Structure 1
Amino acid sequence: MDVGLLFDLRNPSDWRQEWAYHYARTLEFCEEADQRGAGGIWFTEHHLFEDGYLPQPLTFAAAAAARTRNVRIGTAVVLPALRKPAQLAEEAAIVDLISGGRLELGIGAGYRVPEYQLFDIGFERRFGRTGEVITEVQRLWTEGGVTPGPVQQPVPLWGGFYKPRGARLAGRLGMGLLHISHEMFPHYVQGLVEGGHDPAAARVCDLLPVLLADDPEEAWTRVAPHLAHQMNSYRQLSVEGTDHPVPPLLGLEDLRHQPTDGSWGLLEILTPEQAAERIHARTAGLPVRHLIFWASIAGMPDDLVARNIELVSEQLPPLLDKAFAEAATTGG
């Protein structure tokens, strides 16, 4: 497995940087991650967020591809249902070409009605349309329906779905599952079988709600206001365009709630040693290919971002290797 970092480029008004500087600085962070040996840099998509949540991940991925040499370039996720198949096939192929064959294309169905309205696409059929678009993208690449095609044959595809229906869809389309879950994994394997794919080809990756820091308690104090913005805006915008009630705002005391079943909290700030132990406990037994960590939380201070990138890229990988190697030796 490799480790990578996700950038959503949120730039909230309370901590806003000038937009051109913010984009340029994020590209510098991508370069730093590449130079420090990170396994991937990943970008995500949403529309109509006041804080400027990245709306076009493949456009930014192309810029990052041109500024890096080794790191995988991923989307976690892009929304195929908002694009015509030929458009997505061409855009993704260009990123793969610029990067020399480093693209990992993660896709999802989205969760917000206004995003679909913006593109005049029906929200109710988003799962069906997502599957249709990806199927056509695969055909276009295979049959030369767009030119030039990508370097990789095939481009690694990942389905960012969190419920049984989506996990089966990812399997039927022969994609990896962009969700690390022992509960969803059997549904994903079922989908692989239904689609005529070898279940031994199953692979998973995920965005983990984790930041790394030398002093997690000190970092938590500084990150908490940014996390409150991230979570509250995401939750409240989820009901926009529907008749669902607006969820209550989370207070700082709510952000540190830890589930009793051992699953992830909203965000865990850990040392590399703590993270390696925690990740092994949550992923053992699954065919993990990529682990993705937040690079930044909603405009948090640059020094914390830089140190997080350094710890994720350089210190965490050998600790993970050691944890999994020791488990394999002991059968744990």
Structure 2
Amino acid sequence: MADPTFGLWYDFRNPDPGRPFGSFYREVLDQIGWAEQQGVGSVWLTEHHFCDDGYSPSPFVLASAIGERTSSLRIGTNLIVSPLHDPVRLAEDAATLSLLTGGRFDLGVGQGYWEREFAAFGQQVRNRPSLLEEGVEIIRRAWAGDDSGFDGKRFRLPAGLTVTPAPEQRPQLLVGAMADVAIERAARIADGFLSTQNAHQQVYLDAVERQGGSVADARIYAGQWAVVAEDPEQVWARIGKHALYQLNQYIAWGAFGPPEQTPQFADPAQILEAGAYVLWDASTAVTELTALFRERPQVKDVHFWAQLPGESVDSGSERIEYLATKVAPEVRARLRSGA
């Protein structure tokens, strides 16, 4: 088994009105450069629009800046809401990022869910499956230099147009999903699965098998909803309010189902009771993650929120250092030894 990658997840949300976005961006970019030196192996960026807290609307721009600040870590999107975008532009931007970073960029997409975003970009939520699937097909053709054109239900592209420059190392095209039907689609069209909750991983592997793919060769990139710290309860007492803000915003947008049917969390304690976040010290994290990698060797990457919305970058850096020095090396050592 190859060593798994430990990474960071960023949304660049800044609900603090007293913290200018320019300095916040620079501080986070400094953090990412430092994190690579600590042994962090990946950074994942996510996307939303029209958010008061500045939830990143431009992951590709940030990915380019991160690529210039780093030399080895992989950069990916988890995820781009592809139905909001022209797939040719997605193909072009991803190819350019791959070239700029020496092949370190992977494009992760998903079908989205927030009605307000779709309306603002002139799309309809009910069309998102076909928008996603046709978009993925166009991106693949673009990277392959296929200029035969495309005539689909949602997109049309004349023949004779070649997307250039082509990536020298073709990015992985990953798809994220949470509903069973969307996971089935990901198993059919994607190079790998962006797992938002570990509970969905077996659903994906079962879908890969049904689709005639190789379960042994399947690839999962797993976002973790865990706070890893020497005293996680003490840290949670300080940052739980930020998790409350984060999760209730997602619920209000429809990430976990119709907002009117999905109750919001009343307080940080309820989040833990529901298992929406877990608290791990190093010993627990090593045990849990070693078991995950052994049970599902298809998991190639686990990534954790660098800091929660409104939390200071310094506070997030404390957990990053703890993860990189106390958890990741021990997990890798156990996996190598079989102990």
Give the TM-score taking structure 2 as reference length. 0.86
Question: Quick check: 1:8–1:45 contact (8 Å CA) kept in 2?
Answer: yes
Q: 1:113 aligns with which of 115, 138, 147?
A: 115
1:188 maps to which residue?
A: 207
C-alpha deviation, 1:100, in angstroms: 0.9
* Equivalent position SS for 1:254: helix
Taking the aligned partners of 1:243 and 1:66, their CA distance within structure 2 comes to: 39
C-alpha deviation, 1:158, in angstroms: 1.5
Aligned-residue RMSD, C-alpha: 2.1
Instruction: Give 1:278's aligned amino acid.
Output: E
The answer to whether structure 1 residue 230 and structure 2 residue 246 are counterparts is yes
* Equivalent position SS for 1:10: coil
Unmatched runs of 5 consecutive residues or more in structure 1: 259-264
Q: 2:12 aligns with which of 9, 22, 37?
A: 9
Taking the aligned partners of 2:327 and 2:263, their CA distance within structure 1 comes to: 36
Taking the aligned partners of 1:54 and 1:182, their CA distance within structure 2 comes to: 26
Residues 161 and 243 of structure 1, relative CA distance in 2, 3 Å threshold: closer
Taking the aligned partners of 1:96 and 1:302, their CA distance within structure 2 comes to: 27
Identical amino acids, percent of aligned pairs:
29
* Equivalent position SS for 1:50: coil
Residues 174 and 235 of structure 1, relative CA distance in 2, 3 Å threshold: closer
Correspondences of 1:129-168 after superposition (within 5 Å) = 129-143=131-145, 145-153=162-170, 155-168=171-184
C-alpha deviation, 1:274, in angstroms: 1.6
Q: 1:57 aligns with which of 47, 56, 59?
A: 59
Moved over 4 A (4+): none
Residues 90 and 228 of structure 1, relative CA distance in 2, 3 Å threshold: same
Residues 215 and 200 of structure 1, relative CA distance in 2, 3 Å threshold: closer
C-alpha deviation, 1:21, in angstroms: 0.8
* Equivalent position SS for 1:53: coil
The answer to whether structure 1 residue 209 and structure 2 residue 225 are counterparts is yes
Residues 184 and 166 of structure 1, relative CA distance in 2, 3 Å threshold: same
Per-residue CA shift, 1:28-49, capped at 9, x if unaligned? Answer: 1111111212110110011122
The answer to whether structure 1 residue 172 and structure 2 residue 188 are counterparts is yes
1:321 maps to which residue?
A: 332
Per-residue CA shift, 1:172-202, capped at 9, x if unaligned? Answer: 1142111243541344313641xxx444421
The answer to whether structure 1 residue 252 and structure 2 residue 262 are counterparts is no
C-alpha deviation, 1:217, in angstroms: 2.0
> For structure 1, which segment, 75-84 or 180-189, has the greater mean C-alpha deviation from structure 2 after superposition?
180-189
Residues 151 and 37 of structure 1, relative CA distance in 2, 3 Å threshold: farther
Per-residue CA shift, 1:7-37, capped at 9, x if unaligned? Answer: 1011114x65111111111111111111212
Question: Quick check: 1:224–1:252 contact (8 Å CA) kept in 2?
Answer: yes
Question: Quick check: 1:173–1:192 contact (8 Å CA) kept in 2?
Answer: no
2:286 maps to which residue?
A: 276
2:158 maps to which residue?
A: none
Taking the aligned partners of 1:60 and 1:185, their CA distance within structure 2 comes to: 29
C-alpha deviation, 1:289, in angstroms: 0.7
Correspondences of 1:48-87 after superposition (within 5 Å) = 48-87=50-89
C-alpha deviation, 1:309, in angstroms: 1.7
Residues 121 and 91 of structure 1, relative CA distance in 2, 3 Å threshold: same
Unmatched runs of 5 consecutive residues or more in structure 2: 147-161
Taking the aligned partners of 1:116 and 1:77, their CA distance within structure 2 comes to: 16
Question: Quick check: 2:253–2:259 contact (8 Å CA) kept in 1?
Answer: no
1:308 maps to which residue?
A: 319
C-alpha deviation, 1:102, in angstroms: 0.2
1:89 maps to which residue?
A: 91
Taking the aligned partners of 1:325 and 1:276, their CA distance within structure 2 comes to: 13
Taking the aligned partners of 1:163 and 1:92, their CA distance within structure 2 comes to: 26
Taking the aligned partners of 1:182 and 1:202, their CA distance within structure 2 comes to: 11
Question: Quick check: 1:162–1:184 contact (8 Å CA) kept in 2?
Answer: no
Residues 19 and 291 of structure 1, relative CA distance in 2, 3 Å threshold: same
Taking the aligned partners of 2:129 and 2:25, their CA distance within structure 1 comes to: 31
Taking the aligned partners of 1:163 and 1:246, their CA distance within structure 2 comes to: 15
Residues 314 and 98 of structure 1, relative CA distance in 2, 3 Å threshold: farther
Taking the aligned partners of 1:174 and 1:255, their CA distance within structure 2 comes to: 32
Instruction: Give 2:8's aligned amino acid.
Output: L
